[in-house]
Structure 1
Amino acid sequence: MEIKRSLLNVIILLSLIFVAQCSDEYNCVYTFFIKTGSIIKGGTDSKINLELWNKHGDGIRIKDIEKWGGLMGPRYDYFERGNVDLFSGRGPCLNGPVCAMKLISDGSGAYHGWYCDYVEVTTTGPHKGCAKQKFEVEQWLATDAAPYELTVERDYCPYNDVNKDRSPNLISISSS
């Protein structure tokens, strides 16, 4: 009888741990300030995706950041010339601060080219400090302007022999 009770207690404890881990899945808050350059035709109507990583290669992929966490209002036109746009939403916590990012434009819309000045990322979560990283981009994401790419990556992660050849392990998140 005592063995059954102990076994039941262990099962209940393991179930509680599992439920607690599942509910913590999206407990971190990610906030982005993204500045579009003041260059003529620097704004875009394309969908913008963002990938973030820590130094271990663990990361998140946010599809269509405007839909995922745009905070500027329902009629606001994101990624327009000279604007600083604000986005925020929840996602899985990373084991360490964000130190690398990749911006991806899908190239859609009437105005597909985009000149991004910078992306500033702030992250926080339960029992975690607040971390901030600013990524200077100062580049076109366009097929008709140099460097003729719809993606840009910035990597400020510290490297050593163990993690210099990391390959990203991304978790995709998107709006509901």
Structure 2
Amino acid sequence: MAPRCLFFSLIFIALFLSALARNTKEKCVYTFYVKTGSVLKGGTDAIISVTISDANGQSVEIADLESWGLMEKNHDYFERDNVDIFSGRGPCIEAPLCRLNLTSDGSGAHHGWFCDYLEVTSTGPHRSCSQTAFYVDQWLATDAPPFQLTTILDGCDDWIKGHEASRHTSRGKLVVSGSKGSASL
């Protein structure tokens, strides 16, 4: 009787570990809508990188967002008053996505960039769709205020505490606002 019990215990452990290993390899789909501002010289030729994170500190980093671009061939991304669409697969992290690190490398003839907003949608196997809007509303430039090539919008603490600055709206979207001070949709 003992060998049979041991056999089934080993099978159970093996199945549990294989299921655990499979879950760590799951990939989620992330789709970004990025709106460049309508201000003069708001577009850029720089390389834009994005890191999105959840409240647990897990993150997905895209070193060159343009490499995930879905627009037509030879499209000029991050140009004035355009909405560009990007999509790719990355490791699954928890919803909501509440932290954004948006960075320009400052390269190219037109290095400065004014980002209005970035909206990200994520979904994956056995997961509901999650959507977050980050209202950046600032320059990523060394020659325009706030004279930085990186901005970080973090609504994770407010989300955890249930405060107003970041919340789910009636449409189920987490909203994180930067320089405007509060979030609403």
Q: Same fold (TM over 0.5)?
A: yes
> Which structure is richer in relative contact order (CA contacts within 8 A, separation 6 or more)?
1
In the alignment, what sits opposite 1:50?
Answer: 50
Cα 1:7/1:54, change in 2 over 3 Å: closer
Give the whole-Å Cα distance in 2 for the aligned partners of 1:14 and 1:99. Answer: 31
SS at match of 1:20: helix
In the alignment, what sits opposite 1:37?
Answer: 37
In the alignment, what sits opposite 1:131?
Answer: 130
Deviation at 1:85?
0.2
Cα 1:23/1:9, change in 2 over 3 Å: same
The unaligned stretches of length 5 or more in structure 2 are 162-185
Give the whole-Å Cα distance in 1 for the aligned partners of 2:35 and 2:126. Answer: 30
Q: Which amino acid is 1:110 matched to?
A: A
SS at match of 1:99: strand
Report whether the alignment pairs 1:21 with 2:20: no
Deviation at 1:15?
5.7
SS at match of 1:94: coil
Deviation at 1:112?
0.4
Q: Which amino acid is 2:15 matched to?
A: L
Give the whole-Å Cα distance in 1 for the aligned partners of 2:24 and 2:97. Answer: 22
Give the whole-Å Cα distance in 2 for the aligned partners of 1:32 and 1:21. Answer: 24
Give the alignment's TM-score, normalised by structure 2: 0.76
Q: What do you get for the CA RMSD once the two structures are aligned?
A: 1.9
Give the whole-Å Cα distance in 2 for the aligned partners of 1:11 and 1:138. Answer: 51
Identity %: 49
The unaligned stretches of length 5 or more in structure 1 are 161-176
2:11 aligns with one of 2, 9, 12: 9
In the alignment, what sits opposite 1:74?
Answer: 73
